[in-house]
Amino acid sequence: MFADSDGAEHPVWAEYAVRGHARVILHVEAHPALRGTGAAGRFMQALAEHARAEKLTLIPHCSYAVAWLKRHPEYKDVVGS
């Protein structure tokens, strides 16, 4: 859950498939009240940190996840294909 500018909490979520030690990211979405606030980016950062900690690989299929991971080369160690 992430807070909007008024402090109300809203969800950001990912639809993904489990493929062994990989997580195939199919879709990432933020509640409309959170769009443009950076909440989806913070969510992606949390996913990447979790993947690193758990020794998982992220395989982005969603255009947002693909673009975010390209903009954040510090997480290239968790990106699979």
Closest CA to 39 of 70, 64, 58: 64
What pLDDT shows up at residue 3? 53
Percent of the chain whose predicted confidence (pLDDT) is above 90:
72
Q: What band does 59 get if pLDDT is binned at 50, 70 and 90?
A: very high
The whole domain housing 10 covers: 2-78
Count up the domains in the chain and report the number: 1
Query: Is 72 strand, coil or helix?
Result: coil
User: Residue 38 — φ and ψ, nearest 5°?
Assistant: 90, 0
pLDDT beyond 60 at 20 = yes
What pLDDT shows up at residue 33? 86
What pLDDT shows up at residue 11? 82
User: The CATH number of the domain where 26 resides is what?
Assistant: 3.40.630.30
End-to-end CA distance of the chain: 29
What does pTM read for this prediction?
0.87
For the segment 61-78, the average pLDDT, to the nearest whole number, is 97
